[in-house]
Structure 1
């Protein structure tokens, strides 16, 4: 099983009501739309011995022959670290969104 990472602003300075600033879906759409190696989809399908489709907000990163999902969920972006190339890309995305990377 691979490590899962979260791009989040939960560790940033809090707003006046003591809540962290969420990464909004609209912000993600605008950000990833400017990246030619990312595409947006609302269904992520995994095909193997069986096929599984997961609904959600996915920004698919093309890395060679692979498509790696960056999933927006409840104000954070989740990504698997199964491919070592994802780590520097994840750090780049977090930096450009003013966020941090956490395990989990």
Structure 2
């Protein structure tokens, strides 16, 4: 399981990133737009462009790229106006260090 400190280290290394919490999950935003979160169930949610999301999810087949049941976007976007979140189980620290900047750029 990815720890809050692993995601925090990757996300807060990026410029203008702030940490927040909502509904029991830790989230990270740039300019008020959430780009990463760690859900209570340990799933890391990163907002990525389609090609990046497909690649990330292919490396983590146990956590498919989809909206949670009920259709709500956990990162606060509409989905129609931008990339949907990639939901990943247990990404490594290296993967987070690689994917977090990509996720941040989709929201900046």
Please give the TM-score of this superposition, normalised by the length of structure 2: 0.39
- Higher relative CO (Cα under 8 Å, sequence separation at least 6) belongs to 1
Higher helix share: 2
Larger Rg computed on CA atoms: 1
- Higher relative strand content: 1
